A = this chain, B = another copy of it.
């Protein structure tokens, strides 16, 4: 124990196996955060001795997680060093089903986006079972493409717009897509484990996690968004529903059953406006996607209101009109901003976040309503100086939930690199296999 770093586990005794697993994670984390470097430099960075580092690097290489990089040149003492770098072969996959689309996103272990694909799907109309078929097809197709490129997935995370029991991966209730009690993890595992499909894709066997889309978006914002590292932040997603994800003191606020962050139904909207949840006057009736469309366009303005047209295209049209100074559009966006500020004020006073990050359609159109939102916030927030809170538009946009999902899938590898050997599909693909 002379040179190792101790796992953060309080009074639990540290044995040699867990210490080694921890040190694998330390070395992999060092390479991921600080970039390619020599074994000697890793030893200096981590406090581990050089022989230990060499052995750990060799094990990580066998697992397919690191590989040799360039040879270091220039003025150092001693012989030029062979650098080591994170290998991008192992990937995490995030998949999302929302009201009108499904999406797949892959991050490699270096944090780079390898693949993103969004498909318009009428999820409420399709129902849970057939949507799960679609999700499985999308995952199998993405994995097949990855395998063709010599990569594979270490895990899949499913993002859903509802209340999720992350263990065992069950969706309890999702009003906006009409799902109730769906065994998402089990159902998908079965579909992915089936023998080769008629689309020619091979079976996929890896851990499947399920989580709330807003939680995953907040996590993505915290880990890789423009607010990365901000320990107290709220992420608001503007879609059909309005999702909230809260990071408090660097931790995702889940609550006692993991359902925290349901902020769309605060009773602060117009009391005569019906909500998808069956109540009236919920916040999302004033700031959700339906409210936006209602505020900026008449029902027969199909360029904007036709749900079969991709949302990106419709939002681009709203943006175009706003840029042209169209009065109806600008007034509508201002109304959205004011309503957003009213609810955000509650969150600021209760949670005192450093940042509120706006995702989904808020991120696409926010520059046109930010002023109205901040004006309302300043009127309503009790904390002096708004408690130091900044409002930012998320750079992750609609990809946030998928990105958070892909990150969570990779996190298991980063925390315990040796675990990557477990999914058989991955072992089969990684040359060298496990020691």
Using CB atoms and an 8 Å cutoff, list the residues of chain A in contact with chain B: 1, 5-11, 14, 26, 47, 163, 172-173, 175, 231-232, 244, 246, 248-249, 251, 253-268, 277, 279, 342, 345-347, 349-354, 380, 382-384, 387-389
Pair B387/A257 contact, Cβ less than 8 Å: yes
Pair B384/A260 contact, Cβ less than 8 Å: no
- Closest-CB distance, A69 to chain B (whole angstroms): 25
Q: Which residues of B contact A175 (CB under 8 A)?
A: 382
- Closest-CB distance, A3 to chain B (whole angstroms): 10
Considering the chains assembled together, what is the distance between the CA atoms of A276 and B212 in angstroms? 38
Pair A350/B261 contact, Cβ less than 8 Å: yes
Chain B: which residue is nearest A345 at the CB level?
B267
CB contact between A232 and one of B255, B345, B346, B389 (< 8 Å): that residue: B255
- Chain A at the B interface: mostly helix, strand, loop or mixed? loop
Pair A279/B387 contact, Cβ less than 8 Å: no
Q: Which residues of B contact A163 (CB under 8 A)?
A: 383-384
Apart from A232-B255, A248-B260, A255-B352, what 10 extra A-B contacts exist at CB < 8 Å?
A8-B9, A173-B384, A246-B350, A248-B253, A257-B388, A258-B352, A262-B382, A267-B345, A346-B346, A350-B350
CB contact between A256 and one of B9, B10, B353 (< 8 Å): that residue: B353
Pair A387/B256 contact, Cβ less than 8 Å: yes
Q: Which residues of B contact A5 (CB under 8 A)?
A: 10-11
Q: Which residues of B contact A264 (CB under 8 A)?
A: 382
Pair A256/B388 contact, Cβ less than 8 Å: yes
Chain B: which residue is nearest A4 at the CB level?
B11
Please list 14 pairs of residues, one from A and one from B, whose beta carbons are closer than 8 Å in the complex, sorted by A's number: A5-B11, A7-B10, A163-B384, A248-B255, A248-B260, A255-B352, A260-B350, A261-B350, A262-B383, A265-B349, A265-B382, A266-B346, A267-B345, A350-B350
CB contact between A352 and one of B260, B349, B384 (< 8 Å): that residue: B260
- Closest-CB distance, A161 to chain B (whole angstroms): 12
- Pick the 5 closest A-B CB pairs, nearest first: A255-B352, A8-B10, A262-B349, A256-B354, A260-B352
Q: Which residues of B contact A47 (CB under 8 A)?
A: 11
Pair A6/B1 contact, Cβ less than 8 Å: no
Of the listed residues A8, A261, A387, the one surrounded by the most CB atoms of chain B closer than 10 A to its CB is A387
Pair B262/A254 contact, Cβ less than 8 Å: no
Considering the chains assembled together, what is the distance between the CA atoms of A268 and B269 in angstroms? 10
Q: Which residues of B contact A259 (CB under 8 A)?
A: 352, 383, 387
